Amino acid sequence: MNSKMLSAFLLGAGLMVCACGGKETGGGGVPAAGTVTVSEESISCTSAETTTYISVNASDSWESYSNDDWISVDPSYSKSSSGTVTVVIAENSKSASRSGSVVVKCGSTRKSIPVTQAGIITDADIEAPEGYTLVWHDEFESGTVPNKSNWYYETGNGSNGWGNNELQYYVNPSTPEGFDCASIANGILTITCMKEGGTVYSIRMNTTESWTYGYFEARMKLPSGKGTWPAFWMMPKNFSTWPGDGEIDIMEEVGYDPNNVHSTIHCNKYNNSGTSIESARKKVSTAQTEFHTYALEWTADYMKFFVDGAAILTYKNDGTGYDAWPFYTPFYLKLNLAWGGDWGGAQGVDESCLPATFEIDYVRVFQKQ
């Protein structure tokens, strides 16, 4: 090989070495190891569509992805060393749970975040009280607002503030003026009492079905703040007069007396007379911060009220007739969050607590077959 050919060969080899020697690579062209930390070590959710967020801090640009078609992530790539990944988990319409993952990668370093999602709750998954069978339930696992086949709404100011001088204006969440006062996410129904302009808005919703006798249960977390008045209760389907036709208050609480829950019946013979025959209260220290179950067992002979499975009141049919026992006709269930009123506002209201939220995990009805 002559000297000119040798020089050309050495120059070409040198150029090839330079071209193959890209930065941020290790030996053999492997990307250099980066560092990456994420805010979530794992994600677990109900069968409902779920959106969650992962904070990312990396040593350089990073990417995120999932190999599961029911998990989507955004963004898929970021030039910034820090940011947030939005993870959307699609609704699981099957009874079986499923597992997947989200991966965040910086250089050759990968952080895998396991994702588990429960299957939809079926009738067979729900344990009935002894002697009873599940006949109706809403687990709030689908949609963004309550299912209109299960619930309807009372709207407006009502007569005399719904009979109690209440201050709120009730709305239908399916209408533009609903202001998202009833929304479903992650298997939870949230009733929100909020102020827009000079008006306080909230929700008063009723089941489309009614029942005579049964076991009625809801799992709920109560709102906080002076002026709030959440309730889980029942009224007669064929209502004509109050209190003569009866009212069944499974759970009520007022914000100025936090965590003291009440169960009460109303009829002609007993109506706000304050006796232990018709009403009881129980201190539940975490009623506003944790979920608890509130229930009623209603038979032809008695009504028994429960908090977390413990009976707090038993009202018996004394056999004297309608004035003491109008409770033999169909009643429907009600959920509402009032603001102020004769009881809720007895010590004034504190608007700094708004918006206030009343969270319901499920509502279930069981009957003897």
Domain with residue 45: its CATH number is 2.60.40.10
pLDDT for 255:
98
- Residue 257 belongs to some domain of the structure: yes
* Structural domain boundaries enclosing 357: 123-367
pLDDT for 31:
64
| Whether residue 72 is found in the same domain as residue 183 | no
- Residue 6 belongs to some domain of the structure: no
- Residue 26 belongs to some domain of the structure: no
Among 85, 117, 149, the domain-final residue is 117
| Whether residue 108 is found in the same domain as residue 129 | no
Q: Say if residue 7's pLDDT is above 80.
A: no
For residue 80, CA distances in Å to 57, 58, 61, 76 come to 9, 8, 5, 12
pLDDT for 180:
85
**Over residues 96-102, mean pLDDT:** 94
| Whether residue 266 is found in the same domain as residue 215 | yes
The answer, as to whether pTM is greater than 0.85, is no
| Whether residue 256 is found in the same domain as residue 359 | yes
Which tens digits make up the pLDDT trace of 59-87? 999 999 999 999 999 999 999 999 999 99
Which tens digits make up the pLDDT trace of 16-67? 333 333 334 444 555 678 999 999 999 998 888 889 999 999 999 999 999 9
| Whether residue 346 is found in the same domain as residue 236 | yes
Contact 47, 121 (CB under 8 A): yes
| Whether residue 209 is found in the same domain as residue 89 | no
- Residue 139 belongs to some domain of the structure: yes
Number of structural domains in the chain: 2
| Active-site residue set | 247, 252
- Residue 30 belongs to some domain of the structure: no
Contact 262, 251 (CB under 8 A): yes
- Residue 31 belongs to some domain of the structure: no
Reported for 68-75, long-range contacts at CB under 8 A and 24+ positions apart, including other chains, are 68/100, 68/101, 68/115, 70/98, 70/100, 70/117, 71/100, 71/101, 71/102, 71/115, 73/102
Cα 248 from Cα 245, distance rounded (Å): 10
- Asked which of 5-19, 301-315, 339-353 is least confident by mean pLDDT, the reply is 5-19
| Whether residue 248 is found in the same domain as residue 166 | yes
Among 98, 117, 136, the domain-final residue is 117
Contact 151, 205 (CB under 8 A): yes
| Whether residue 361 is found in the same domain as residue 301 | yes
* Residue from 264, 219, 231, 218 nearest 154 by CA: 231
| Whether residue 263 is found in the same domain as residue 245 | yes
pLDDT for 18:
38
Q: Say if residue 111's pLDDT is above 80.
A: yes
**Over residues 296-313, mean pLDDT:** 98
| Whether residue 324 is found in the same domain as residue 303 | yes
Among 93, 117, 141, the domain-final residue is 117
Mean pLDDT of the chain, nearest integer: 91
- Residue 362 belongs to some domain of the structure: yes
Looking at residue 135, which CATH number applies to its domain? Answer: 2.60.120.200
| Whether residue 216 is found in the same domain as residue 108 | no
| Whether residue 245 is found in the same domain as residue 331 | yes
